[in-house]
Structure 1
Amino acid sequence: MTLAAATNENLAQISNTLIYSAMAVYTLAFLAYIAEWVFGSRSKVGRSSAALTGSAAAAPAPAVVVKGAQGATGTAVLEKPRVVTRIAAGTRDVPDGPGAAGGTYKGDLYGRIAISLTVLAWAVHAAGVATRAASVRRAPWGNMYEFSITFSMVLVAAYLGFLVARKNVRWLGLPLAGTVLLDLGIATTYLYTASDQLVPALDSYWLWIHVSTAIFCGAVFYLGAVTTVLYLFRDSYENKVARGGKPGAFAVSVLERLPAAASLDKFAYRVNAAIFPLWTFTIIAGAIWAGDAWGRYWGWDPKEVWSFITWAAYACYLHARVTAGWKGRKAAVLGLIAFACWLFNYYGVNIFVDGLHSYA
């Protein structure tokens, strides 16, 4: 049987149509997230540190100030949203952000519409990935196009999974929808590869194990990276308010709707720490697969090297989190460098560097 005969072109075309349809729905979800931020008021749960202490120079902010065991302040990221009117010192903090607690009815309505559209887009997206797999009767990640559409599908699934678990991460919806549209746009425009069979080196059950875990790790690393970026902006905002400065109108409008910097920092650390062992397994699985396919476990191929560099960067980040003097912004920058290594390992190595993984 020839490779062409083994490919179902009708299913491949259906997959393409579904991916484009998903992009259309993601666009609507993206607009709905924007509407949530524009029309929703900030949370009425609490005010910023300076506002609660009576500083006249400080602009009011929605972050609820509480003192925990270590004196950290901030609003919760992972708790179920609930509306309260007063926070006593020493109690647990509450969530904040667009539609999370105390927002306007209109803002919350747009937020619910955005989530519904995201679920619909993900369902269409998943159907596109599934039909792509059915068209060639194999795992749908044999090249960069398939990896990209699967990666963004898993990314959205991880986001929705947090929401199903009743975790307050709706503030991730806007950057996530924009990223998914960018990823699918690049995939369909520059990375598209016609549906075809695998090269012999990839025709292994390890494709299901190694690549699937790499995709899942990348999706979770992305959530940690976006949260880290938001943390850096929110931390700068809080520091300016604490010094008595007056942030600009745009900063007040946007950054007041995010959870507090301490909560964002904690969430980023937790997701990166949770997924790091799986990334370790991904590298080990790749080495075992290389032994089966090429007769050696490690050959300093660029993909192998950058996978290890990524592992080392995240290891340094996690170590920095528990080392005195490397918390907060310093560790956050290190986390972003680690994610940049992951991105280069995916795009840069495959596109710009010749190696045994160039066929991907």
Structure 2
Amino acid sequence: MTGQLSLYFATFAMTAYVIATIAFAIDLTRKVPTISQPTKQLAGVGAGASAGGPTPATGSPVGGDVVTPVVGAADAVPPAPRRRAGGIGMATFLVGTLLLLGALVTRGIAAGRVPWANMYEFTLMSVFVAATVFLVIQRSRDVRYLGTFVAGLAMLLLWLATQALYVDAGPVQPALQNYWLIIHVSIATSAVGLSSVGAVASALQLVKDRYVSRGTEPKAAWMRRLVGSLPSPDSLERLAYRINAIGFVLWTLTLVSGAIWAEHAWGRFWGWDSKEVWTFVTWVVYAAYLHARSTRGWGGRRAAWFSLAGFGSILINFWVVNLFANSLHSYSGLG
């Protein structure tokens, strides 16, 4: 009964994320200035405005049309007021995250253990971490432009979890009946959640940078509004870097805790198991990303592609290794 309730919670959470995705998308594509769209210069409006005198900021007559480049300008001018859709998106996203927490809690009660011992539970936990990271960042800065993509990714992963990865709640294999399950896998799910948000920021950075570097704008109106709503590529890169830096620490702890657990379970710290190898590959990619950016000055597109390569390695580790590789870590629960 509790296990079925957990599935209901997960399904309701997915529904809430669908609504949040739509609401955030409406908010993201709200009407904003485009590269060629004139906007009224507001700075310096006051006593001298009626005389048409120059403004302190630009020297242009007040009330004249000033071309405001949207691409790259989000950090230079105050953002336009958010529409109601943004508030709806945040509210439904929060509700979805709370429902997902309910799914995890009831799943743990039904199984009598921590709820992250198979691919279904791992997915739920990783989505919960990614959603929590988004909500935490939102408390200190406005990152609702990420909402469409974080909520959309959460929706997709929950759909895959409930439709393709679901297994009934139950006990785990003897090798997993260890307190390291709590430590090691919780760190790994947190690393995946953080890296997912970092990858979203990097992908948006590439989109924004494409038009900034060319000095052009998208042909489709909705795409112009989307690009215009994004902050500068540098701002997105800094956000991705900070998230991935924390994620790298967690990947390091994942490797270390996994090695200690392997020694307890199998009598060796490292055995070149396929899961161990791909986790190490992921760690190397993120280590190279951080090193290249901090010491070699590899910013911009190269840093973004590095970030996405790390996330691609995570996807291979989760979907390919777990389902198709002959591994001691094949705990998908799918038979």
Length-normalised TM-score, structure 1: 0.80
Structure 1 residue 124, shift from structure 2 partner: 1.1
Partner of 1:26: 17
Of 61, 76, 89, which residue of structure 2 is paired with 1:114? Answer: 89
- Map of 2:154 onto structure 1: 180
Matched letter for residue 12 of structure 1? G
User: Are the aligned partners of 1:302 and 1:355 in contact in 2 as well (CA < 8 Å)?
Assistant: yes
The yes-or-no answer on 1:196 pairing with 2:187 is no
* 1:1-360 mapped onto 2 (5 Å cutoff): 10-39=1-30, 41=32, 60-61=69-70, 63-64=72-73, 75=75, 101-103=79-81, 107-164=82-139, 166-241=140-215, 245-250=216-221, 251-324=223-296, 326-360=298-332
CA distance in 1, matches of 2:162, 2:27: 29
Amino acid at match of 1:102: A
Displaced runs of 4+ in structure 1, greater than 3 A? 38-46
Structure 2 unaligned regions, length at least 5: 42-57
Residues 236-263 of structure 1: CA deviation (Å, up to 9, x unaligned): 111121xxx4542444221011001110
- Residue by residue over 1:152-179, the C-alpha shift from the partner in whole angstroms, topping out at 9 and shown as x without a partner, is 1111111111122x22211110001110
The DSSP-based 3-state class of the residue aligned with 1:298 is coil
SS in 2 for 1:322: helix
- Closer, same or farther: CA 42–120 of 1 in aligned 2, 3 Å: farther
Mapped partners of 1:40, 1:212: distance in 2:
41
Cα shift at 1:45: 11
Note if contact 2:209-2:233 (Cα within 8 Å) is conserved in structure 1. Answer: yes
Amino acid in the other structure paired with 1:23: M
| CA drift at 1:235 | 0.8
Hey, what does 1:89 align to over in structure 2? none
- Secondary structure of the residue aligned to 2:165 is coil
RMSD after superposition = 2.6
Q: Specify the SS of the correspondent of 1:256.
A: helix
In 2, the alpha carbon distance for the partners of 1:265 and 1:38 equals 21
Shift of 1:42: 5.4
Q: What amino acid maps onto 2:204 in structure 1?
A: L
Identity %: 38
Cα distance in 2, alignment partners of residues 42 and 59 from structure 1: 7
Paired with 1:239 and 1:209, the residues of 2 have a C-alpha distance of: 44
Structure of greater Rg: 2
Deviation per CA, 1:173-214: give whole Å up to 9, x if none.
000111011001100111111111000011111111110011
Secondary structure of residue in 2 paired with 1:190: helix
Deviation string, structure 1 residues 277-325 (Cα, Å, up to 9, x no partner): 2210111000001111111111111010001110011111111102446
Deviations 1:74-100 (CA, angstroms, capped at 9, x unpaired): 72xxxxxxxxxxxxxxxxx567xxxxx
1-structure distance, mates of 2:220, 2:316: 36
